[in-house]
Structure 1
Amino acid sequence: MNNILFENDYILSVGAGKNQLPLIKAIKKYGYKVISCDKNPEAEGKSISNIFLNISSHEPENIIIELGLLNVKPKAVLTRSTGIPVVTCAIIADSFNLSALDIATSKLLIHKNKFTTNNNKLNIPSPKLFCKEHLQDISFPVFIKPAYTVVSHAAMSVCHKFDDLAPAIASAKAVSTDGSVNIEEYLIGNDIASIDFVQNKKIQHLVSIGEISTGAPHFDGLGWYTLDRTTSDIASSSFATLKHKLNLSHGFFQTAMKYNSIEKTAKIYEIHAEIGGDLVNDVFIPHITNGYDIFKNNISLSLNEKLDSCTKVIKFAIILFRKKIKQYNLSIPKHTYVQAVEHKDYLTFDFNSQKDLNKYLYNLTSQKNVSITNREN
């Protein structure tokens, strides 16, 4: 990364709340100045930004106008916030001719109904989407969820019969920004994610990881674990199909899938184009890759500079969120791991092999409120 900078070498952080702090700190760490924006006049990132704009991350036009008044052209624009801020980044990047995800694709990716409908049309591996105007055509069970919301894990329901549909749809509609709802094929399998850079239309696959959750019906995230090579390869292959059929040319993508170990398929149910949270990018990936810096490389991507090549996963590991351990009164098995690290926000466990890790997962998921799959025994 070029460290010879000009006076107005600013990078824009869309958002300045607590979640954005690792991004803002990384931008400054690598020698750039930070412009941040947030609707909260006392946002946590304000004090460590060089310039703070008290403008909502949902208002790209106003941000562009203010940057013009300040006579500042950002060199790049990034966010850690999901949903509309992703589109805001795309609009601002387009206005200043910066490297970023294009506007049309950004709007597609943040809307689960439009995204899954498009995937079905293009034969991208995804759950089948049913139309609420033709409920008689539904094959049960189905999964109901809001299609356009910033509230994670909200108003999701599994419906096994026709009488379950109306209340489930009403609940999802109530928290969906535009009232749209997904009625999807209920996929069976493990929740996994492929994490990838795309630069100049080429994929640089980083890692694939599995999610530990509470299971049905809410699938509240509890942590993450490294995947075996076969599952990881299938996940990255599904992302490659999506990248090709959507003609993705630039971006950082975290693609959520349901992996069916019997059918050997990984169907995509959502995708995130921001530098997400859940301790994945700032803690877990650096831990299992011996220090790969997601933030540094997202900055490089936004500047269209060469990315660091990622060493393959070198640790078989699990991360669990302390807050969730307490919330669900989880019992933590004490055997088979070779190293445990305790932090105020999380626990990590390292293992000698994927086989040992899988044994630990079996013990962990034998208790109530811990799952890596929704498959019935």
Structure 2
Amino acid sequence: MANVQNQYTQFPFQTQDSGTTPTDSTSANDEDSVVSDCESGVSGPCFDQPSLSNKGLIRLSHGDKAHDVIAKRFLSNLGSLAAHTKDFTIQKNCFDGLTWQARLQSFQIFIKAMEKKCGGDANVKYAWCAATGDEISKIVEHGFGYSGLPKNSGLYGHGVYLSPADSPMESVKNAVVDNSGMRYLMLCRVILGKAELVQPGSTQCHPSSDEFDSGVDDLSTPNKFIVWTTHLNTHILPEYILSFRAPSSWKGLLGMQDKMRMKMPTSPWISFPALISALTKFLPPTAMNLISKYYRDHRDKKISRRELIQLVRQLAGDKLLVAVIKSSRTKQIQRTK
């Protein structure tokens, strides 16, 4: 059992001299301490958090290789928000007890089975998952199979939604603040196997066929990995728990950060109302009803602009969208002549 734990509890962002062959790799610079401009926003551990049981968890300290690499990767992806992050703590699941040791062995067996199924590549990734402190305590104690799963939007069916290791912001946005002002994320190792594209509005709860093993919201650049309810205790291994405190103004800062990215495009573009009007000529009513609903959700601030764009891309397809936008741009130029 010890070999199983050593093989599958190493954080992947390590240099080659560590003796491992990580799934996700970075340069040796990632072994340095946390980015200096983020250090002022990171304070010592907060261990009196009533909503997160420490049973089965051990705290990592500054100077620990895994702590520093995870902290640097996480905080650097927060951008300017990192300076507003306080009481940042990383805890490691020590997989205490016979049950967790059995889950570790099971995880290894499923990786080998997936490698055999997928021609040698099980597609194992690290990914973030937002959950409350109470949910994490239960997951650490009982695994993902207990009834109170982390709450998801349901846009992509029934399962646990995770975001890629290099995109923690997707999960940060879904992190719920507890009574003590803390937010929590899990960094999990996930067996994805062959992923299938899941359309918005799906009620899927298992792979659509034996060919597939997991779901994604976009095949080329996914923002969400979907692990179905049938695969929770075999395909997700929660290895690290991040907790941090953010001010009440953090949501406003998130909005400001999004607006800073929304600069006027230099390439051809079209407003959403005009795009919806143009797409009605090409898409069936069911698709248009969904697009209109998602646009209303965006106006009501239920989903972000980026999420809206991803949803429209999935329903309409990039080829049609490019053609519609270029056609609109051509008409605009002709009107100005």
**Which TM-score band (shorter chain)?**
under 0.3
Q: TM-score, normalised by structure 1?
A: 0.26
User: Which structure would you say has the larger RCO, counting Cα contacts within 8 Å and 6 or more residues apart?
Assistant: 2
Instruction: Answer 1 or 2: which has greater strand percent.
Output: 1
| TM-score (structure 2 length as normaliser) | 0.28
